[in-house]
């Protein structure tokens, strides 16, 4: 055996291949840190999605103008937050029904919700005042007054959510299977209505049947109800013009249905102040957009039923006066009920009358 060679083979210096393996093993912890840092940087660069992803439940169908406006609202939020906030919209009541929408926002089933206050009767006793037959001239006016009303009175009934804004349709009318020339023609009819509109129907001598808009088309088609109180836009937006024969404008009715856009309170509180401001600013900008959309939709609804050959008339002024007289007790009754609940009922009525220039 060569002594020198043996000594060299068992000395301090290992062969080249073993030295390389030992070096790699020693560097593994450092390599792991470097790989993790690169991966984290890649994610932060845009591969890991938005900072906040919110769900938005809407009872309107996907084709409805107010669903489309909500989609535009969501896109504007995404744009102004530079992608930090993405809002996923679930239309057509697939995430929560129209009547459960508000409660589902409270309980976090959805982060945001849009539906009608009237669909949860009794939950919004002060806001109900907005839906009384005040004779609103158009959707822009009704929407503006609804937001000013809520801003002024700050109803405690909204305390469980973060209120963003409201919108409200133009003057309600009667769509029915039978022609209506006098109030006597309404007596005994089954008319679809919810909340305050149900009270209007009863005051006019008909039988109110409560149901949401998504259920009304089939109810009209099958003859479950003889007619419905609704704005003109509904006859196209919900296709109800296809299953009625007559549209009667009764100016004394002139009611609206106020709709909310609210956010889960915990969701709102988790958002940074700068994002909260962006959402609040965009929401304010969308108020007149919804008001104008209601009026545009009313015009389209009128064109829709006219092209279908439906009859559109305005009730005789004498009969309209009878309707106004029949509805007057509703205001007194509502104010008395509000007073019993320690709510500013009379002040609320005066507020709306002032806004309408009366």
* Residue 39 in this model has a pLDDT that exceeds 50: no
* Residue 261 in this model has a pLDDT that exceeds 60: yes
Same domain, yes or no, for 241 and 342? Answer: yes
* Residue 16 in this model has a pLDDT that exceeds 60: no
Same domain, yes or no, for 163 and 202? Answer: no
d(CA 328, CA 258): 20
Residue 8: the pLDDT is 34
User: Which segments within the chain are labelled E, that is strand?
Assistant: 52-58, 85-90, 112-116, 161-168, 173-176, 190-192, 207-209, 227-230, 246-249, 258-264, 311-314
User: Would you say residue 18 lies in a domain?
Assistant: no
**Could you tell me which residue, 290 or 118, shows the higher pLDDT?**
290
Strand partners, 246: 176, 311
- Spacing of C-alpha 92 from chain mean position: 11
Neighbours of 237 (CB within 10 A): 26
Residue 234: the pLDDT is 92
Residue 213: the pLDDT is 84
Q: Quick check: 219 and 211 in contact, CB under 8 A?
A: yes
* Residue 153 in this model has a pLDDT that exceeds 50: yes
Tell me the H-state helices in 107-245: 139-153, 196-203, 213-222, 234-237
User: Would you say residue 6 lies in a domain?
Assistant: no
Same domain, yes or no, for 141 and 233? Answer: no
Same domain, yes or no, for 227 and 83? Answer: no
Residue 29: the pLDDT is 43
Residue 47: the pLDDT is 52
- Percentage of the chain modeled with pLDDT above 90: 81
The CATH number that applies at residue 127 is 3.40.190.170
0.85 exceeded by pTM: no
Which of 41-55, 176-190, 320-334 comes out lowest in average pLDDT? 41-55
User: Would you say residue 227 lies in a domain?
Assistant: yes
Radius of gyration of the chain (CA): 31
Residue 237: the pLDDT is 85
Q: Which domain-ending residue is among 247, 274, 297?
A: 297
Tell me the H-state helices in 308-344: 317-340
Contacts of 46 (CB under 8 A, 6+ apart): 83
Same domain, yes or no, for 346 and 206? Answer: yes
Same domain, yes or no, for 145 and 281? Answer: yes
**Could you tell me which residue, 5 or 222, shows the higher pLDDT?**
222
Say how many domains are in the chain: 2
What tens digit of pLDDT does each residue of 90-117 get?
A: 999 999 999 999 999 999 999 999 999 9
Is 184 exposed, middle or buried (CB count within 10 Å of its CB: 0-12, 13-18, 19+)?
exposed
> What mean pLDDT, rounded, does the chain reach?
88
What tens digit of pLDDT does each residue of 112-150 get?
A: 999 999 888 789 999 999 999 999 999 999 999 999 999
User: Would you say residue 107 lies in a domain?
Assistant: yes
- Percentage of the chain modeled with pLDDT above 70: 87
Same domain, yes or no, for 67 and 203? Answer: no
Find the mean pLDDT for residues 310-320: 96
d(CA 185, CA 179): 8
pLDDT band at 256 (very low <50, low <70, confident <90, very high): very high
* Residue 303 in this model has a pLDDT that exceeds 70: yes
Same domain, yes or no, for 276 and 177? Answer: no
Same domain, yes or no, for 134 and 227? Answer: no
Find the mean pLDDT for residues 330-353: 97
Q: Quick check: 86 and 305 in contact, CB under 8 A?
A: no
User: Would you say residue 15 lies in a domain?
Assistant: no
User: Would you say residue 40 lies in a domain?
Assistant: no
- Taking Cα atoms as reference points, which of 93, 92, 96, 90 lies closest to residue 109? 96
Same domain, yes or no, for 221 and 114? Answer: no
Same domain, yes or no, for 247 and 262? Answer: no
Find the mean pLDDT for residues 63-82: 96
Instruction: From residue 238, give the alpha-carbon distance in Å to each of 26, 168, 210.
Output: 70, 16, 17
Find the mean pLDDT for residues 311-340: 96
pLDDT band at 212 (very low <50, low <70, confident <90, very high): confident
User: Would you say residue 185 lies in a domain?
Assistant: yes
Structure tokens at 356: 């309408």
Residue 194: the pLDDT is 82
- Taking Cα atoms as reference points, which of 171, 209, 187 lies closest to residue 294? 171
Same domain, yes or no, for 313 and 351? Answer: yes
pLDDT band at 30 (very low <50, low <70, confident <90, very high): very low
User: Would you say residue 21 lies in a domain?
Assistant: no
Task: Residue 203: give the domain boundaries.
Answer: 173-256+308-355
What tens digit of pLDDT does each residue of 41-72 get?
A: 333 344 578 999 999 999 999 998 999 999 99
């Amino acid at each position: 055996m060569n002594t020198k060679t043996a000594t060299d083979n068992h000395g301090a210096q290992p062969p080249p291949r073993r030295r390389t393996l030992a070096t790699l093993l020693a560097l593994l912890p450092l390599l792991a840190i470097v790989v993790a840092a690169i991966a984290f940087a890649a994610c932060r660069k845009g591969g890991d999605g938005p900072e906040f992803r919110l769900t938005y439940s809407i009872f309107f169908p996907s084709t409805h103008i107010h669903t489309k406006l909500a989609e535009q609202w969501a896109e504007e939020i995404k744009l102004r937050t530079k992608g930090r906030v993405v809002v996923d919209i679930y239309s057509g009541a697939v995430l929560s029904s129209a009547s459960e929408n508000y409660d589902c926002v409270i309980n976090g089933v959805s982060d945001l919700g849009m539906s009608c206050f009237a669909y949860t009767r009794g939950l919004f006793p002060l806001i109900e005042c907005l839906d009384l037959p005040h004779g609103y001239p158009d959707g822009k006016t009704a929407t503006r007054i609804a937001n000013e009303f809520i801003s002024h009175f700050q109803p405690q009934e909204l305390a469980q959510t973060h209120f963003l804004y409201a919108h409200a349709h133009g003057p309600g009318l009667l769509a029915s299977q039978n022609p209506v020339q006098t109030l006597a023609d309404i007596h005994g009819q089954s008319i679809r209505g919810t909340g305050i509109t149900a009270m209007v129907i009863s005051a006019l001598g008909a039988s109110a049947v409560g149901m949401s808009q998504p259920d009304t088309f089939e109810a009209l088609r099958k003859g479950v109800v003889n007619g419905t109180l609704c704005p003109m836009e509904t006859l196209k937006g919900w296709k109800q013009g296809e299953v009625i024969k007559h549209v009667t404008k009764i100016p004394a009715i002139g009611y609206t249905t106020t709709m909310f856009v609210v956010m889960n309170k915990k969701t709102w509180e988790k958002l940074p102040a700068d994002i909260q401001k962006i959402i609040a600013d965009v929401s304010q900008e969308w108020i007149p957009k919804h008001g104008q959309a209601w009026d545009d939709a009313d015009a389209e609804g009128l064109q829709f039923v006219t092209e279908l050959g439906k009859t559109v008339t305005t009730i005789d002024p004498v009969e309209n006066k009878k309707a106004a007289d029949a509805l007057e007790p509703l205001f007194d009754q509502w104010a008395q009920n509000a007073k019993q609940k320690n709510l500013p009922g009379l002040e609320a009525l005066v507020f709306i009358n002032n806004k309408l220039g009366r």
